[in-house]
Every structure is written in C-alpha cells, then in structure tokens.
Amino acid sequence: MTMIDVAHLDKTFVTVRQERVHALQDITLAVREREFVTVVGPSGCGKSTLLKILAGLIPASRGAVTVAGTAVAAPRRDIGIVFQNAVLLPWRTVMDNVLLPAEVQGLPKAQATVRARELLAMVGLDEFENKYPMELSGGMQQRAAISRALIGDPGILLMDEPFGALDAMTREQMNLDLQRIWQESGKTVVLITHSIPEAVFLADRVVVLTARPGRIARIVDVPLPRPRGLDVMEDPLFGRLTGEIRRLLYGRTNGSSKAPGGDLS
Amino acid sequence: MTITIDNPRAAAPDLPTRFRVLMRTRPEFVLAPALLVLIIGVWEFSVPYFQVPNYILPTPSDIAMALWRGLDAGPLDRGGYWLHAGVTVAEVLLGFVIGSGVGLLIGTVISQFRIIEATLRVYIVAIQSLPKIALAPIIVLWFGFGLTSKVVIICLLTFFPLLVTSMAGFKAVDPERLELMRALGARPWQIFWKVRLPSALPYIFAGLDMAAVFAVVGAVVGEFVGAQRGLGTLILSMNAQMDTAGTFSVFIILAIVGILLHKGLRMVERRVLFWSGEAERVIGT
C-alpha cells in the first residue's frame, strides 16, 4: 500500500529581495507502507524543503502530496517529525518532553505516560525519564526526540538530517538503533541525510536529488538483507551503491572508474 | 592513617589545618573580609589623624552609633528608622510590583502581534532613553506628598525595563522550538504557554533585576522631591542638620533594602530558571 504519494511537486520561493528561487522541480515519488526511504542531495538542493512539505509545514507551489489517502494541507497527527537538532525544551524533564505532543493534542495523560515509558525503553533511555535535557549527551537527546515523535503513534516518521550534529561513532550507533526501532515499530520512514553511507545503510530505496532546482536524479534500490550490521559497509554491493550515488551527485569521480554501476538501479 | 570511621570527631581536622586548607582552596573567603576590616580600620583612624571635621566625613564608629540610635527607636517614632524604612519599603514593593507587572503585561501583549510591535518599537526605544526621573517633581505636583506620587514614580521607572526586556525575550524565542510546536499542530495559546513564555523568562528576570535597582532609586528621589515620611526625607533633614553620620547610616539601611530585594529575586530566579545555563542567562549580575 502506498503511504506517501508525491506527484509532480514543484516549490518556488520568493526571497525578501523579491528573487524567485526554484527549490524543487517535478518530484514524483511513492513511498510504500513500512518502507524506509532516504533522500540524499547536495546542500541547498531542497531536501529539507521536501520534508517540510511532506510534514505540512509549508505548502507546495504545484503538485499534490497525499499521505495515507488524504491530501496534506497542515501538520497532522499521523506524521511524526525529527529535526536535525533535538529541540528539547530545557525546562522539561525527558519524560515531559516526550509527552509534549500528547499534551498539545489532548491525549489522555495516563495512557501517554505508559507509552512514553515503552518508547524510552525502546531507545535505551528508560533510566533517564526524570533527567533534564542538559544532563544528556547529544545522541541521547536525539533518542528522546525520536521517542517524542513516536508518542502519538504516527504511521509515518519524517527525519531531517537527524544525526547530522553527532560525532561519527555516535552516528553509526544511532543508525543501528534507528534500524531496530524502525523494524520494531513498523513505521514508514523518510530520512533526509547528506551522508551517502548513512543513506545506503538505512534505506530500502535511496532518492538522489540534483542540485537546485532539486530534481530526482535516480531512485536507487538497496537489496541488502536486513537486519544490517555495520559490517554490511564492507559488502561489495554496499560499495557499488555508494559509488553509484556519489557519481550521480558529483558527476564522474576520480579513482572510482573500476566500480561497475551499469547493472544497478 | 588510623581508621576513624566509627568516630567522626576524630576525623575533623583541627582549626589551624582547616584555615590552611581554606587559604589554599578558596583564599577569597579569607581575603575579602580581611580587606573590609582593613579599609574600615584605616578609615576609622585616618579621620581624626588628618583632623577631618565630623560633618564632612564621620568615622565608621560614628556611623555605627547613629545606626544604633535610629534602630533603637520605637516603630512609630518619627526620629527612628523603622517608620521611615517601612514607608520606603512599602513604596518600593508597591511600585515595583505594579510597574514591572504592567510593563511585563504590555510587553507580552505587544510581542504577540508583529505589526503592533514593529509600529511601537521606535517610540518605546525613544522613551526608554529619556531620563524619566526628571519627571519626579511634576508627578509630586500631580499626586501630592503622600505614598501615591512615590509609587507612580517607581512605576514609571520599573515599567520600561520590563517592557523592553519582555519584548526582547519574546523576539528571541528559538525558531526551531516554534517550528516544533507548529509541526505538532499546537494552537497559538499552547505555543505561548508551553514555549514562548518560558523561553522569554531569562530576559524577563534580567528586566526584574534592573527594575529592582530603579525602584529604590525612584523611592529616594521621590522622597527628596516632596514627602513627609520615608528614608529619603530622613536623609534630607539629617543633611540640613549636618548630621552626616546619620545620613551614612540611612544609606546603609537603603543598601540593605536594595540587597534584600535583589537576593529575593535571585532566589525566585534560581527556582524558576534552574534549566537556564550560562548560555541562556542574559545578563549575569
């Protein structure tokens, strides 16, 4: 079943100086239920804009976005979102931060608290529910933010470079954990990243965008078996896929002429 | 080392040792009081040594005597300090609460509407830079010699710090927090109570700190201009009688009022802003 359906999406901004910026052009994409799709592209290609349109935070200029059968016009409860920064409210405990969407949406508190405990256990923060954000590391803050995005049990999780601010080792650990969380929770995930290995490691399909205006250069299937460990990065197929995406993004790259790319995509 | 776990008294070091440890770890705890004692000592002995007349500069012991005489009086004694201090504290508290309260309220309301905020900004900045204390004589003329005129002067002085800092605070709310709330589908009042107001609190407390200082200044100046009671009138009459030691002792009372107000605010601030690290604290005082 198609969970997210994007058809001929266009986005044009008008800047303060009255200049028109063509951010996205003719994006057509269908994300299946429980699928993990990652989006990579050069910086400024409109990746984040695409995610904000999917989340209903900004309107599209042209084209249609349908989520779970209905058009997206405003932020909705069946979509959870995780930003690059955790954006936890520093005056709230981890538990109260996770409960924030439930409060805003008027969900019963007792039920939400039980669910928040489950989510915090799932992300490995069960002993930190009474701590304040400043007492957590960057990776732990982002785990709390993921719990917060899942508290309303949305079918879809949108993630905007969620691990971009973390160091490389924390990032790999978070990738492993996110894969597990995705498999346990059965969500449909769209994740924006500028890291090609991260995109391939996590994805069922990688959407490669071109530089501005962002168009879909290609959608790359990742047929690597799951669950994937970090050693999957040594798999020859992993190398071929990252190489192919790199060539799509940079054009022909030096020293990688041996990597065959023709039998993919 | 002997085992002294079951006898805590034996583990406590003797006094000279504790002094040496203190000197090594926190020397300012010893040196700062020592400096004060030194200054007061030099002051005490140099006044008679250089034959400075008492009405120009009294010795610390003269000031202490005047302070004692003023505090020894009954609570309703017009010559004592209690009555006047009570009046001044009442003016300060009333003026501070009303003035900063109204400033905070208006600043908050203005900040919620971008057009109103942008329209009024230029006037607010202009008025803020005026020396409003110069209006004290007119306000005494309008509201009389009683409590009201002093409260109005203090309101005028404490209103603007809160107006300006609350507007700055609401303007400085992290846009990421607002976007998060929008993504959650929050209503405007939810965004206000859950994000905007808490985010603006560090600024608001900086404004309250400023307003507390202005409140004491406003009370004293108001009483200088025209009043029958209060520490400001006491200073005026003592000055007329060349009772300089008395004037200094009243200054000490005023300083204590100001410090207590500041300390009280800091206590509230520490409880409310426990989450605000060095980065979020606006003006450290």
Q: Do the Cβ atoms of A168 and A13 come closer than 8 Å?
A: no
Q: Do A81 and B183 lie within an 8 Å CB cutoff?
A: yes
> Over the stretch B177-197, which tens digit does the pLDDT of each residue have?
999 999 998 999 999 999 999
CB atoms under 10 Å from CB of B196, counted, come to 21
Question: What does the pLDDT read at residue B17?
Answer: 84
Sign, Cα dihedral of B31, B35, B36, B41: positive
- Phi and psi at A227, nearest 5°, equal -70, 145
Distance of residue A43 Cα from the nearest chain B Cα, in angstroms? 19
Which residue in A55, A90, A132 is closest to B183 by CB distance?
Answer: A55
Comparison of pLDDT for B151 and A256, the residue scoring more: B151
pTM value? 0.82
Question: Is the link from the previous residue into A227 a cis peptide, with omega within 30 of 0?
Answer: yes
Q: What Rg, from alpha-carbon coordinates, does chain A have?
A: 19
Using a pLDDT cut of 70, give the percent of chain B over it: 92
CA distance B232 to B89: 11
Alpha carbon distances (Å) from B180 to A65, B183, B256: 21, 5, 45
B282, pLDDT greater than 70:
no
The strand pair at A62-67 and A36-40 is best described as: unpaired
B195 touches chain A (CB under 8 A): yes
Three-point CA angle B246, B250, B254, nearest 5°: 170
Residue B284 confidence (pLDDT) above 80: no
Dihedral angle computed from the Cα positions of residues B50, B56, B62 and B64, in that order, rounded to the nearest 10 degrees:
-120
d(C-alpha A205, C-alpha A36), whole Å? 7
Contacts of A83 in chain B (CB under 8 A): 176, 179-180
SS3 A219: strand
Q: What is the mean pLDDT of chain A?
A: 88
Asked whether residue B236 carries a pLDDT value surpassing 80, the answer given is yes
The span from the CA of A89 to the CA of A103, in Å, is 14
Of B76 and B42, the structure prediction assigns the larger pLDDT to B42
Averaged pLDDT for residues B120-125 = 89
Q: Tell me, what's the pLDDT at A252?
A: 58
Q: Is B270 on the interface with A (CB under 8 A)?
A: no
Q: Are A191 and A171 in contact (CB under 8 A)?
A: no
Residues 6 or more apart whose CB falls under 8 angstroms from that of A186 comprise: A34
- Asked which of B134-148, B251-265, B267-281 is least confident by mean pLDDT, the reply is B267-281
Flag whether pLDDT at B32 surpasses 80: yes
The reported pLDDT for the residue numbered A239 is 93
Could you tell me which chain A residue has the CA closest to the CA of B201?
A: A91
Per the CB < 8 Å rule, is A104 touching B182? Answer: no
Facing B183 at nearest CB: one of A75, A103, A132? A75
Question: How far A50 CA sits from the closest chain B CA (Å)?
Answer: 14
Q: Any idea which architecture A1-78+156-165+188-265 has in CATH?
A: 3-Layer(aba) Sandwich (3.40)
pLDDT score of A214: 87
pLDDT of residue B14: 78
| Per-residue pLDDT reduced to its tens digit, B82-93 | 999 999 999 999
Q: Is the pLDDT of residue B125 over 50?
A: yes
Question: pLDDT digit string (tens) for A102-160?
Answer: 999 998 999 999 999 999 988 889 899 999 999 999 889 999 999 999 998 899 999 99
Task: Please give the pLDDT value at position B8.
Answer: 52
Cβ of B184 under 8 Å from any chain A Cβ?
yes
> Which residue does chain A place closest to B195, by CA atoms?
A89
Q: Do A75 and B190 touch (CB under 8 A)?
A: no
Pairwise pLDDT comparison (B102 vs A181), residue with the higher score: B102
Distance CA B206, CA B200 (A): 10
Query: Residues in chain A with pLDDT < 70?
Result: 252-265
Q: Is the pLDDT of residue B156 over 90?
A: yes
| Angstroms from A86 CA to nearest CA on chain B | 9
Higher pLDDT, B46 or B7: B46
- Flag if B176 and A87 touch (Cβ within 8 Å): yes
pLDDT of residue A165: 83
Q: Which residue has the higher pLDDT, B285 or B212?
A: B212
Is the ipTM, as predicted for this complex, more than 0.90?
A: no
Contacts of B202 in chain A (CB under 8 A): none
Which chain A residues are Cβ-neighbours of B173 within 8 angstroms? none
pLDDT of residue B263: 93
Subunit contact A74:B185, Cβ cutoff 8 A? yes
**In order of start, what are the domains of chain B with their CATH numbers?**
1-52 (no CATH), 70-272 (1.10.3720.10)
Give the model confidence (pLDDT) of A147-170 as tens digits: 999 998 899 999 999 998 888 888
Please give the Cα distance from B207 to B217 (Å, whole number): 16
Whether B75 shows a pLDDT value over 80: the answer reads no
pLDDT at A253: 53
